[in-house]
Amino acid sequence: MAVNAQYCAFFDFKATEPEMVVSTLKGMMDTGWGKNIQGTKSLFSYQFNGPNQATHSIQFCFQDEVAFANFFTSWSLSTEAQLFGEKLGKFTEGINQALNTPLWYKNDWSNDQAFMIYQLDISDTQAYLNIFKEFTQTMAKKLGFENNSYGIGYPIIGKVKDFTHFVWIGANDVESSLRQTKQMLSDDLFASFSKDAAGIRKVVTTTMMVRVMDF
């Protein structure tokens, strides 16, 4: 989510022809409809996504309800958007749609290129948030990702039964993301954090999300 973004729409899909997805999306975003979207527009790929069949995600992030509502309304009114949407459907299979909102986060994620995503089932949100904030801010300074984005969000619409929240930790590139994750998992602070959170959260899935392009 870009700085101050409060709503991010995720359209997760399985791509049968990724190169056609990119060219079709670029054409869609170059239309009057695409240029008038009052938010960020990005395409991400999922790496090592476990049982989730989604390979990519189109994400639109908005700063307020008005910007999101305008986007939502404009889709049904735009012939251009509908035509490109039909074309996109020839190369993709929709997997999941969700409107997400941040609970707490640090820094602008539009500068990050790779993200570790942890989908969680949390039973006590406030207790987990308190533990998470202290842990991530300390770990960010220790491992050197204090200028990258990290935070916790949840699907406000489109929730699935498997998880209630998701955590992300951004990085400059895939190599940095893997290195930081490996260091974090072997750190004593992580062991202590996991122990404190054990009774209130369950890790459902983990995946890496990589920025393909912004529009």
DSSP string, 98-133: EEEEEEEEES-GGG-SEEEEEEEEES-HHHHHHHHH
Q: Say yes or no to pLDDT of 1 above 70.
A: no
Q: Say yes or no to pLDDT of 162 above 50.
A: yes
Q: Which two tokens stand for residue 112?
A: 């990050």
pTM of the model: 0.92
- Nearest CA among 168, 179, 180, 182 for reference residue 211: 168
pLDDT single digits (tens) 69-123: 999 999 889 999 899 999 999 999 999 999 999 999 999 999 999 999 999 999 9
Q: Could you tell me the CA-to-CA distances from 154 to 7, 12, 43, 140, 211 in Å, in that order?
A: 10, 15, 20, 22, 20
pLDDT band at 160 (very low <50, low <70, confident <90, very high): confident
pLDDT single digits (tens) 127-146: 999 999 999 999 999 999 99
Dist. CA 150–CA 162, nearest whole Å: 22
pLDDT band at 48 (very low <50, low <70, confident <90, very high): very high
Q: Say yes or no to pLDDT of 27 above 80.
A: yes
